[in-house]
Structure 1
C-alpha cells in the first residue's frame, strides 16, 4: 500500500471548484490552520480560470499547472426544483466536467485525484444506514437522477483508470455540507443555509420564520471545515480506489425542526416559528454509515453541530452583503 503523501518531492495540488463552499474551507485549512506541508503548492481554480466542460481548456489548465495531486470539486449544482427541471443539463454538463478533469489528470500523470460525490447518488429504495457498497444497487431518486448518475459514473471511471493504468483515483461522499461561503439562496440553496437566510430576514422584518415542510425529516450535517480536514487526510493517506463516506455518525442525525431551533438560537431570533406542511418534505432520511471512516480515523473530532452552526450564522451576518444568496 503505497502512501502518496510520502513522495520525496512536495505535492502540487490543483483544486477544481476552488471558490465554492468546500474549496473555501480547504483554503482556510491550508492557510489559517497550517494544513499545507513545507514546499507544497496549492492552486485553487474557479470557473473564471477554465471552462471545465471544454476538454481543450481543461487540458490546457492542467498542462499549465502540472499538478501532482487533484481535488475535484467542480460541478453544476442546484437545489431540488432546479434539478427536477433540468435533469438533462445536470447529466451532460457534469459528465463532461468529470471526464475532462479525470482525463486531463491522467494525461499529465497526476498521482492522486480525490473527487467529491454526494449522498444523493445512493439508490432511492435502500436499507439504512447507507454504506459505500450500495452506490450502484438501484436507481437514485427520480428528482435529480441526471446529477446523481453523473456523479456515480466517477466511481466507474476511477475503477477503470485503476484497472487499465494503475491510477489511484478515488472519491469521497459527504453528507449535507454547510459552513461559511455557502450558497444561502432561499429558493435554490440547501436546507440549512436557506433557513439561516430566512431567519435573518424574518428577524429584520419582525415576521414569523416559515420553515418548509413538517420539520420531521432527518439529516446528517457536516461542517465544511471538518470536511476540508478530512479531504486532506484522504488526499495524503487514504489508500483505496473505492469511495469513502465522510460524515458524522448516525447518532448525530438532526431533524429539520432541531436544525431550525439551532438557527433560532444562533441568530437569537425572537419571533414565531411556523412549519408549512403544505410544502414537500423530500426524503424522510438518508442515514449514512461512517463506520469505514471510523475504522481509519477512530479519533477524529467533529465540530459540535451547534458550535458549527453558530460560526456559520456569525459569518453570514458579518458578510451579508457579499454572501451568495
Structure 2
C-alpha cells in the first residue's frame, strides 16, 4: 500500500519547498496533497476531523501555523499562542484518531531559551524561557515537542518534529507589514529600484542568523518523513560557519536587486542578537548533504519575486 501524504500549510514557503523536492525525487508509491488555509479551519477539531475523513492520510507533514515577523509577534503574543495551540491540538489528535503512520511537525529556532550557551542543539529546547519578543508563538511551537512525546508514550504514535533555522525562497510572504527579514528586504529593494529611493533596513544590521533555502529545507523534510525515526526533534540548518549578519544579507539582496543606497534605522528593535544552531545531528545522518550557496539561493529568490511580482504574497 502506498503513502498518502497530507501537508498542512502546504501552499506557503516551506510547503512549496517540499513540493519542489517531492517532484524532483518522485516516488511511485507516494501521493502528495498540499493544503492551504482555505481548505480547512484547523483551529476547529470538527473541521479537522472532516478533512482527515475526506483524505484519509497515512502520513502528515504539519506546517500550518499563525506566523509573523518580529513586530507582529510583539503586538499579538496572546493570539499567536492561542491560535497555534488550537491548530496543533486539532492536527495531532486527528493524526492519532485516524491512525496516521507518521507525523512530522515544523518547529522554529525561536523555541530555544533566550539565555543560553551557543551553539544551541536539540537537547536544549526546554532549558529556559524563550525570548520575550515572541514568547506566545515560541511556547506554542515548543509544546509540539511535548505533545509528540506524550502521544508516543501513551499511544505509541510515531510523531516527530524538525527545527529549521531562518527560511527564505520563492513563495515567501513579502508583505512589508508582516514578513521576515529577507522577503521584506527583497520587496523594499524592488520598490526602491522602481522609485529611485533609498532602502531603510530596520535595526542596526549586527544580529547574526543562519538562513536555509526553502528548496534545501524541502529536500531535508522529505528525507525526515521517509527516513528519520526518532521522536526527538532534529535541527535542519546550514553549519555555524555559514552564519551571516543582517547587514551582509541586506548587501547581498541589494546587489541582486540593483540597489546601492542602504540605510539602517537603529531606532528599530534588533530582536535576538544571535540564535546559532548546531547541525551536528543532521550531519551524523547526512554527512554529504549539499546546501545551495547563500548568494545563489538569494539570486534565485530575488529573480522569482521580480518574475512573479503580481501574484506574490505582498
Tell me the TM-score range normalised by the shorter chain. over 0.9
1:249 aligns with 2:249: no
- Secondary structure at the residue paired with 1:172? strand
For normalisation by structure 2, the TM-score amounts to 0.98
Query: 5+ unaligned residues in a row in structure 2: which ranges?
Result: none
Count of residue pairs the alignment pairs up: 314
Residue 306 of structure 1: aligned partner: 295
Residue 2 of structure 2: aligned partner: 10
For normalisation by structure 1, the TM-score amounts to 0.95
Residue 40 of structure 2: aligned partner: 50
For 1:26-45, what aligned pairs fall within 5 Å after superposition? 26-31=18-23, 33=24, 35-45=25-35
Q: Hey, what's the Cα distance between the residues in 2 that align with 1:209 and 1:147?
A: 29
Q: Hey, what's the Cα distance between the residues in 2 that align with 1:108 and 1:257?
A: 47
Q: How far did residue 171 of structure 1 move?
A: 0.3
Question: Given that residues 208 and 274 in structure 2 are in contact (C-alpha distance below 8 angstroms), is that contact kept between their aligned partners in structure 1?
Answer: yes
Q: Hey, what's the Cα distance between the residues in 1 that align with 2:270 and 2:71?
A: 13
Q: Hey, what's the Cα distance between the residues in 1 that align with 2:75 and 2:267?
A: 21
Q: Hey, what's the Cα distance between the residues in 2 that align with 1:72 and 1:273?
A: 38
Residue 70 of structure 1: aligned partner: 60
1:284 aligns with 2:284: no
Q: Hey, what's the Cα distance between the residues in 2 that align with 1:136 and 1:177?
A: 22
For 1:1-325, what aligned pairs fall within 5 Å after superposition? 9-31=1-23, 33=24, 35-269=25-259, 271-325=260-314
Q: How far did residue 249 of structure 1 move?
A: 0.2
Question: Given that residues 21 and 222 in structure 2 are in contact (C-alpha distance below 8 angstroms), is that contact kept between their aligned partners in structure 1?
Answer: no
Residue 6 of structure 1: aligned partner: none
Q: How far did residue 21 of structure 1 move?
A: 0.5
Q: How far did residue 87 of structure 1 move?
A: 1.3
Q: How far did residue 211 of structure 1 move?
A: 1.2
- Secondary structure at the residue paired with 2:310? coil
Q: How far did residue 36 of structure 1 move?
A: 2.8
Q: How far did residue 187 of structure 1 move?
A: 2.0
Q: How far did residue 30 of structure 1 move?
A: 2.1
Q: Hey, what's the Cα distance between the residues in 1 that align with 2:305 and 2:5?
A: 29
Task: Give CA-to-partner distance per residue, 1:57-77, whole Å, 9 cap, x none.
Answer: 101111111111000000011
Q: Hey, what's the Cα distance between the residues in 2 that align with 1:137 and 1:120?
A: 13
Question: Runs of 4+ in structure 1 displaced over 4 angstroms?
Answer: none
Residue 4 of structure 1: aligned partner: none
Q: Hey, what's the Cα distance between the residues in 1 that align with 2:203 and 2:140?
A: 29
Q: How far did residue 80 of structure 1 move?
A: 1.5
Please say which of residues 303-312 and 199-208 is displaced more in the overlay. Answer: 199-208
Task: Give CA-to-partner distance per residue, 1:66-93, whole Å, 9 cap, x none.
Answer: 1110000000111112212211111111
- Secondary structure at the residue paired with 1:222? strand
